[in-house]
Structure 1
Amino acid sequence: MTASSPMGISRPQVKSLDEILPREPLLMMGAGPVPIPECVAKANSVVINHLGGAMAQVIHQVKAMARYVFQTESKWVLGVAGPASAAMEMAVSNLMQQGETILCVNNGFFSHRMAEMATRIGADVHELHVPVLEAADPELVRKAIEKVRPKVLTLVQGETSNTVFNHSLEEIAKIAKSYGCLVVVDAVCTLSTMPLKMDEWQIDVVITGGQKGLSSIPGVSLLVFSDDAWATVKSRTQPVAQWCFDAQLAENFWHKDGYHYTAPVSGIMALHEALKLVCDETLEQRFARHLRCSKALQAGVQGMGLNLFIPAESRLNSVVGITIPEGLTASDICRHISDVYRVEIAGSFGQPIVRIGQMGEQCREHNLFRTLHALGSTMRDLGVKVDQPNGMAEMESYLQSVPRIISQVA
Structure 2
Amino acid sequence: MRYSLKFPTLPISSVPTMPLTPSFSVPCPDVESLDAILPEEPLLMMGAGPVPIPAAVAKANTIVINHLGGTMAKVVGQVKTMARYVFQTNSKWVLGVAGPGSAAMEMAISNLAWSGTRVLSIKNGFFSERMAEMGRRVGADVSILDVEDRAVASLETVEAALRRVRPEIVTIVQGETSNTVWNHHLKDIAALAKAAGALVIVDAVCTLSTMPLEMDAWGIDAVITGGQKGLSSIPGVSLVAFSEAAWERVKHREQPNAHWCLDASLAENFWHNAGYHYTAPVSGVLALHEALRLVCAETLEKRFARHLKCSVALQEGITALGLTLYTPQACRLNSVVGIEAPQGLSPGDICGHISRQHQVEISGSFGLPIVRIGQMGEQCREHNLFRTLHALGRTMVDLGVAVDLPAGVAALEKSLSGGARPSVR
Q: Is TM > 0.5 for Structure 1 vs Structure 2? A: yes
Pair 1:16 & 2:42 matched: no
What does residue range 134-283 of structure 1 map to in structure 2 within 5 Å? 134-283=151-300
1:68 matched residue in structure 2: 85
What does residue range 18-97 of structure 1 map to in structure 2 within 5 Å? 18-97=35-114
Identify which of 83, 100, 115 aligns with 1:98.
115
Among all aligned residue pairs of Structure 1 and Structure 2, give the percentage whose two residues are the same amino acid: 68
Take 1:399 and 1:97, find their aligned partners in 2: how far apart are those partners? 49
1:343 matched residue in structure 2: 360
Q: Deviations over 1:274-322 (max 9, x none)?
A: 0000000000000000000000000000011100000100000000000
Report the Cα offset of residue 9 of structure 1: 2.6
Report the Cα offset of residue 7 of structure 1: 3.4
TM-score of the pair, normalised by structure 2: 0.93
Q: Deviations over 1:48-106 (max 9, x none)?
A: 00000000000000000000000000000001100000000001100012011100000
For the 8 Å contact 1:302–1:391, the answer to whether it is kept is yes
| Alignment gaps of 5+ in structure 1 | 405-410
For the 8 Å contact 1:34–1:212, the answer to whether it is kept is yes
Report the Cα offset of residue 25 of structure 1: 0.7
For the 8 Å contact 1:292–1:402, the answer to whether it is kept is no
State the SS of the aligned residue for 1:244.
coil
Take 1:327 and 1:282, find their aligned partners in 2: how far apart are those partners? 44
Q: Deviations over 1:112-143 (max 9, x none)?
A: 00111111111101110111111221221111
Q: Is the deviation greater in 272-281 or in 345-354?
A: 345-354
Q: Deviations over 1:338-379 (max 9, x none)?
A: 000110000011211100000000000000000000000000
Q: Deviations over 1:18-64 (max 9, x none)?
A: 11111111100000000000000000000000000000000000000
For the 8 Å contact 1:40–1:273, the answer to whether it is kept is yes
Take 1:155 and 1:5, find their aligned partners in 2: how far apart are those partners? 57
Take 1:76 and 1:119, find their aligned partners in 2: how far apart are those partners? 25
Take 2:157 and 2:361, find their aligned partners in 1: how far apart are those partners? 38
Take 2:275 and 2:263, find their aligned partners in 1: how far apart are those partners? 15
Take 1:320 and 1:167, find their aligned partners in 2: how far apart are those partners? 16
Pair 1:320 & 2:360 matched: no
Report the Cα offset of residue 402 of structure 1: 6.3
For the 8 Å contact 1:5–1:11, the answer to whether it is kept is no
Report the Cα offset of residue 109 of structure 1: 0.4
1:407 matched residue in structure 2: none
4+ residue segments displaced more than 6 Å: none
In structure 2, do the counterparts of structure 1 residues 199 and 340 end up closer, same or farther at CA, with 3 Å as the change threshold? same
Take 2:337 and 2:137, find their aligned partners in 1: how far apart are those partners? 32
Pair 1:133 & 2:150 matched: yes
For 1:251, the aligned partner's letter is E
Take 1:30 and 1:82, find their aligned partners in 2: how far apart are those partners? 20
State the SS of the aligned residue for 2:261.
helix
Q: Deviations over 1:141-162 (max 9, x none)?
A: 1110100001000000000000
TM-score of the pair, normalised by structure 1: 0.97
For 1:253, the aligned partner's letter is F
1:390 matched residue in structure 2: 407
2:371 matched residue in structure 1: 354
What RMSD in Å do the two structures reach over aligned CA positions?
1.2
Take 1:11 and 1:377, find their aligned partners in 2: how far apart are those partners? 44
For the 8 Å contact 1:212–1:360, the answer to whether it is kept is yes
| Alignment gaps of 5+ in structure 2 | 1-20
Pair 1:120 & 2:137 matched: yes
Report the Cα offset of residue 332 of structure 1: 0.2
Take 1:97 and 1:187, find their aligned partners in 2: how far apart are those partners? 22
State the SS of the aligned residue for 1:170.
helix
Q: Is the deviation greater in 363-372 or in 129-138?
A: 129-138
